Every structure is written in structure tokens, then in C-alpha cells.
Amino acid sequence: MTELTLSKAIGTGLHRALAEDDRVVLLGEDIGTLGGVFRVTDGLLAEFGSDRVMDTPLAESAIIGTAVGLAFRGFRPVVEIQFDGFIYPGFDQIVAQVAKMHYRTGGKVRMPLTIRVPYGGGIGAVEHHSESPEAYFAHTAGLRVVTCSTPQDAHTMIRDAIACDDPVLFFEPKRRYWTKGDVDEDASYPLEKARVVVEGSDVTLLAYGPLVQTALDAAIAAGDEGISIEVIDLRSLSPLDYDTIEASVNKTGHVIITHEAAEFGGMGAELAAGITDRCFFRLEAAPQRVTGFDIPYPPARLEEHFLPDLDRILDAVDRVLGRTNSLTGWTK
Amino acid sequence: MQSTTAVIDRSAQAYPPAVVQIGVCMSTAVSAQRQQVALDFESGDVVQLLDPAGNRLADSHYDPLITDLTDDRLTALYEDLVIVRRIDTEATALQRQGELGLWPPMLGQEAAQVGSARALRSDDFVFSSYRENGVAYCRGVELVDLVRTWRGTAASGWDPYTVGMATPAVIIGAQTLHATGYAIGCKKDGVDSVAVAYFGDGATSEGDVSEAMVFAASFAAPVVFFCQNNHWAISEPVGLQAVRPIADRAPGFGIPSVRVDGNDVLAVTAVMREALKRAREGGGPTFIEAVTYRMGPHTTSDDPTRYVDPLQREEWAGRDPLARVEKYLELSDEVAAGIAQRADRVAAEFRAGCLELDDPEPLSLFDNVYATPHSGIARQRSRYSAYLEGFES
């Protein structure tokens, strides 16, 4: 057990992957000499050399596209997209090539790419540096989409993602990069599986990535008012672990989904539909979503109004339980 | 010389030798955008070893690269040209008869494809567009595998690893990056295999092609960019994609380039061999612009009479890639008949294979979406399976 930041936990995961499999190669902008703008790949160039840790020219489509070619040749590329909002120039290569190659070739060509994407807001950044584009990729057949919320998962999941024979979009909650936690390098947990972080009996609160901590804070605050919230860290967004979700909702009868990404067509919409389909007769209220608004990511001085926070989650708890809002006095 | 029919307008161009405006009857109605970048045989910037009249042109630089191409070997290449044209014709017929949903003819581009593909080793790897069926034939793709996609029975036709050729990329230009990545991988593996990207003039406007050249140059990747400038991207003339010869772009990326008469199988072989040698010896990428002409439609769904000038097409018909080899070799009737007979046999086998392709099983819909189990797909498969079973009981 070692105490690591989430960022360092990914770094040690990458280190292990590079050390254990010589077909693993890292590609990205500024990942070598600089160690990445978030220092996730710090020290890897010095140890493994520029053949394994490649600083690339600034072209996201080419970073993904050349990784496709490397995968064709049996490499296991790990690509870093510097910021969430920079992924779109690579969108075609991801959704039209990476995602479809295994299907297109009848299973002859595998695409064991891992595409690392620091994502989400809360860091006071400028445009294109705070986005949550996960739903685009979860919507795309052929891709797996996962996201971590703790240093332990960061380490375990990046190694599992790299080992996976399918392409994996690995979303890293950038505002939690400096969260510290114990990491057991030998721990294991299925990549597809959600995790019940805190058990509860009144409300199921589904969160992932940066908002898992916010959800935990909300659960503690609600607990003070005698409401028992079960927090589930989804971990995998494609596929979704409906077994775990279903078991929880069947227990609580109330569900709240929270994410930073916009509400419309987001993960919350899929979850609400999937849960309604599976747990319709057990639900006591409509699933509630606490999400970013359907607007472009706002300027930094407005992001506190955009990002779901503890109070907005508690407001949803009140709504889903039909209670009076303890702050505003409003009723559902 | 074919270019006697062209009016060379040198006044408006910074690099006039290679840019000509075809003086055709349509020219008064043709906007500046539709100006043609055409093959200018007189300017001397296009490699040609066998002219349309069948004359062998001496070239001190390229002749040493093809000394092994004796008349016998050239006859074998000629047979390839005949066969791929025959396959192409048969596929168009199959589409017209309703057996294929679509077909992208390569008529006119046979020499560019055969000459370049026959220069490859089996350990080289091709990343192509959808029109490279002549390349696929030369790589050893089974005839029936050429039409699986076009008949709609499979997402693509063959196992890339058995023939050293990826199945076609339909997104224009995307495969140039795959070739570059594969080439970088060859270098990492310490082998002298080469990756080849085939694409057209239209693709050169795509960002991926420029990005591929940046990456290939930066990493000195052993990749050959083989651009078949067939003058058309569906209805758009090459002059809309480029106001200067396409090959001129590559040096700006630090990549040597060459324009070759794409209808001259000898010249294409020679420039391809030079590019492959450079790549194998660590000299990095090369850009080849094979100047040719798409004699048919973009695909069988296209109507080129709406945009192709018949005089321009006729001019290119005079530069046919097969005719010049016939003139040069002066094959006996017996040899020519033997080749035609073999081509017919290939076409018959091709047709028979196509007609035998049955519709896939419905539940194969869900196969190979992922390489490892995926609970979401498993659920949909199981539900759809139960739904289908409902009709059987």
C-alpha cells in the first residue's frame, strides 16, 4: 500500500504497463520531456526512451490514426489527449476507425488502444479545458468508456484498460488529480463493474469521475438529516453495470444521477431510461438528474453555477423524496 | 504528344510548367475553379518510360530500376492489367444485374495499381481506399472477397494479415494515418517492411493526409504515399482540390515526391521501387503522384455525363494503360488470346463466387462489435434472439 495522488497512481499504472509489456507505447503531446501538462507521464520518457514514450506533433487525428496503424502491427498504444475539448479533431478516427475496426474486419484486427482524456471542470480554466464529452463515446458501438474517481481505481483501471483487447476511452477527472489515497498495486476489480461506495436505503445516487466525491459529501450531509443515500461509482459508462444499479434501485426505490456533462442526451438520460425499464414497478418517483446545463461550458467565474454541487444534489434528494427543500422551502 | 490539344496558360500561374488549362469546347463556361491540373508530357516533370504510342523512352535514372522487366515479365504485368480490368468490368456488370449494391470502377487506373502493387514484398502492408481492387488482386485477395462489402454480406472482405492489406477505408484519407502508424511500428520492430497508403486526388484536401505527412516526416516513417490523381473526386475536378500539382505539396513537409505517368506500368513500377528502396534503407517517406484518369463513374451510382467533358475523356482514352503495352510488346495473337481466355476464366470464377454469397445470419449482427464480452451487447443480442424466435414458434 502506497499513498499516491490520483495523477501519480495513473503514472505508476502506465509505468507497470510499459515494464510488463514491450508492445505498450505511449503517444501524445508534451507527454515526454515535459511529462504531460498534468505530469501524469512524468519520468516515463527518461526510463523507457522515446521509442516507447513518444512526443507527437500537435494533431489529434494523427495521434489516434497512427495509433490505429500501430495497433494493426500488434502494438498496444496508449494515447493522451491533452484536454477534453481537444479530442474533437480526433473524433473521426475514434468513432469511424478505432471503434469499428474489429467489427469491420470480422474480428481479424484488434484495436487495443487506450485513449486517456483528462476531463471535467472546476479548475478555473478557459474554453475547451473543462468539458465532459463522455456521452459521445458511450454512444459509439465498439468503444468502452470508463472513468476513475480514486487513486486506487486510477491505478487498477488504467492497467486494465491497457490490457483490454478493446479500445477504451479512459476519462481522468482532472480536478481530482491531486486527491490522495492508498494504492495497492495488486488489487483487482472488474473494469466493467460499478462499485457501491456507501451503502444506503432511501436513495440511490449514481455518480462517476469527479462527482463521486461530491456525491459522498452529499450522502454525509443527507445522513445528518436522517436520509440514507447509497452512492454508486459507475466506473464504466459503456457498458453500464446495470446489475449493480438495478439491485440498488430495487432496494431504495429512488434514484438520482449526477454528472458534469449536459443533461440532454447525456449518460443520465440513458440511465433514467435503463432504470425505468428494469425497475419501473419499484420506482417511487421519477429518476432525477443533476447535471451541467445544456449550454457551452461557461467562463470560469460562472462554473460554480454550472457544476453540480452538494446543494444541488441535496435539492434533488428532496425532490425525489417529495420533501420540502431545507434551504429554499420549496416543495417538489 | 497528347498535350498538343491543350492550351497552356502560363501567365496566370506561379508554377506554369505543370499546370495547364485544357483547351476544350467547354472552356468558356468553365470557371477558374474548374481549371484542370493536367498531365503535361512536354514539361518533363512526369516520369514516363512507355509512351501512349508504345515507344520505350530511355531514362538514365529509372531504367536501372527495371532491368529485370524483360518482355516476359512485362507480359505477365500486362496479363495482370487485363485481368484486373476484366474483374472490374464484371463487377460493374454484376451491379447492373442487381447482384451488387454498388461498385467503384477503376477503369483507366490499372497501370497505377498493378505497377505499384507488384513492386511490393509480401511483408509490406497496404492501406487503401475502396477503388484499389487492382491492388487487392495483386496482393492475393481471393476474388470473392473483393465483393463481400459491395454485395452487403460483410462489413469488409478479407483478413488483412493474410494478404498484407487492410480492408478499404471509406472515410477519405483516413488510411494515410494508419499507414504512417504501421510504418512507425515497422521501424520500432527493426524490420525493413514498408507501409503504403493509397488514396486519390480528392483525399489530398483532407486534413488527415496532411497530418500523415507531418507525422511520417517527423518520424522518418517507412511509408509510401501513393496518390492516384485520377482527376475526379466524384464530380469535382482536381483543379478544385489543388491549383498546383499535388506532388508539389510533399517537399513542403520534407518528403521527396515524384509525378509519374500513372498509365505507364513501367514508370509506375520504377518510381515505386525507388520509393520502397528509400523507405527500406531508412530514408523515410516518399510521395508519388500517379497521374491517371478515372475513365468510368465514381461508382455505379454516379452519372459522369453531368460533369465530365467528353473531349477530355477521349484525350485520356488515347493514353490507355493497356494499349501502350500491347503496342510495345506486339504480342502474337496466340499469346493475346491465351491472356484473354485466362481473364475470362477469372471473371467467371469471380461471378460464381459472388452469386454464391448468401445473406449472413441475423444474429451475426452482434458479432465482433467487441473483442471481449460486453454486457450491453449481450443483452440486446439475447432480446433480439428471443424476438426472432417468437416468429418461429
Report the candidate in A120, A122, A124 with the shortest Cα–Cα distance to residue A134: A120
Same domain, B369 and B295: no
In a domain, B360, yes or no: no
pLDDT at position B189 over 60: yes
Residue that the C-alpha cell 475523356 belongs to:
B313
Q: Kindly determine whether residue A59 and residue B215, on different chains, have CB atoms separated by under 8 Å.
A: yes
Give the chain A residue nearest B212 (alpha carbons): A62
Q: Kindly determine whether residue B215 and residue A67, on different chains, have CB atoms separated by under 8 Å.
A: no
How close A154 comes to chain B (CA, Å)? 21
Same domain, B384 and B246: no
Same domain, B166 and B290: yes
Catalytic, A129? Answer: yes
Catalytic, B231? Answer: no
Same domain, B351 and B369: no
Cis bond upstream, residue A239 (ω within 30): yes
Choose among A69, A112, A164: nearest Cβ to B181. Answer: A69
Same domain, B311 and B376: no
pLDDT digits (tens, 9 = 90+) for B58-89: 999 999 999 999 999 999 999 999 999 999 99
In a domain, B278, yes or no: yes
Choose among A25, A69, A102: nearest Cβ to B180. Answer: A69
Same domain, B313 and B199: yes
pLDDT digits (tens, 9 = 90+) for A33-62: 999 999 999 999 999 999 999 999 999 999
In a domain, B13, yes or no: no
Q: What is the dihedral of CA B256, B262, B266, B269, to 10 degrees?
A: 50
Q: Kindly determine whether residue A70 and residue B185, on different chains, have CB atoms separated by under 8 Å.
A: yes
pLDDT digits (tens, 9 = 90+) for A231-264: 999 999 999 999 999 999 999 999 999 999 999 9
Catalytic, B249? Answer: no
Cα angle, residue A191 at apex, residues A186 and A194 outer, rounded to 5°: 110
Q: Does A193 touch chain B (CB under 8 A)?
A: no
How close A141 comes to chain B (CA, Å)? 7
Strand B223-229 with B125-127, pairing: unpaired
Task: Give me B242's grid cell.
Answer: 489543388
A contact residues 223-262, partner B, Cβ 8 Å cutoff: 238-243
Are B45 and B259 in contact by the 8 Å Cβ rule? The answer is yes
Q: Where are the alpha helices (DSSP H) in chain B?
A: 71-96, 110-117, 133-139, 148-151, 160-163, 174-189, 207-218, 238-241, 249-252, 265-280, 310-317, 321-329, 333-355, 375-392
Residues of B in contact with A141 (CB under 8 A): 369, 377
In a domain, B31, yes or no: no
Q: What pLDDT does B33 receive?
A: 40
Q: Which domain holds residue B382?
A: 365-392
Catalytic residue among A102, A129, A155, A259: A129
In a domain, B292, yes or no: yes
Contacts of B85 (CB under 8 A, 6+ apart): B107, B110, B322, B343
Q: What pLDDT does B26 receive?
A: 38
Q: Kindly determine whether residue A166 and residue B371, on different chains, have CB atoms separated by under 8 Å.
A: yes
Same domain, B126 and B98: yes
The one-letter amino acid code at B266 reads: L
Same domain, B120 and B192: yes
Name all domains of chain A by residue range, CATH numbers in brackets: 2-183 (3.40.50.970), 195-321 (3.40.50.920)
Q: What is the dihedral of CA A190, A194, A197, A198, to 10 degrees?
A: -130
Residues of chain B with a CB closer than 8 angstroms to some CB in chain A: 125, 127, 154-156, 159-161, 166-167, 169, 171, 174, 176-186, 188-189, 195, 207-208, 211-212, 214-215, 218-219, 367-372, 374-377
Number of domains in chain B: 2
pLDDT digits (tens, 9 = 90+) for B14-49: 333 333 333 333 333 344 444 444 444 445 589 999
Q: What pLDDT does B44 receive?
A: 53
Same domain, B212 and B291: yes
In a domain, B22, yes or no: no
CATH number, domain with residue B197: 3.40.50.970
Mutate to test the interface with B, among A97, A105, A137, A246 (most CBs of B within 10 A): A105
Q: Tell me the residue ranges of DSSP E strands in A148-245.
A: 168-173, 180-183, 195-198, 203-207, 229-233, 236-238
| pLDDT by residue, tens only, chain A of 332 residues | 899 999 999 999 999 999 999 999 999 999 999 999 999 999 999 999 999 999 999 999 999 999 999 999 999 999 999 999 999 999 999 999 999 999 999 999 999 999 999 999 999 999 999 999 999 999 999 999 999 999 999 999 999 999 999 999 999 999 999 999 999 999 999 999 999 999 999 999 999 999 999 999 999 999 999 999 999 999 999 999 999 999 999 999 999 999 999 999 999 999 999 999 999 999 999 999 999 999 999 999 999 999 999 999 999 999 999 988 777 776 65
Choose among A68, A108, A238: nearest Cβ to B177. Answer: A68
Are B222 and B194 in contact by the 8 Å Cβ rule? The answer is yes
Q: What pLDDT does B352 receive?
A: 98
How close B366 comes to chain A (CA, Å)? 9
Are A143 and A171 in contact by the 8 Å Cβ rule? The answer is no
Same domain, B388 and B326: no
Catalytic residue among B118, B151, B178, B298: B298
Q: Does A92 touch chain B (CB under 8 A)?
A: yes
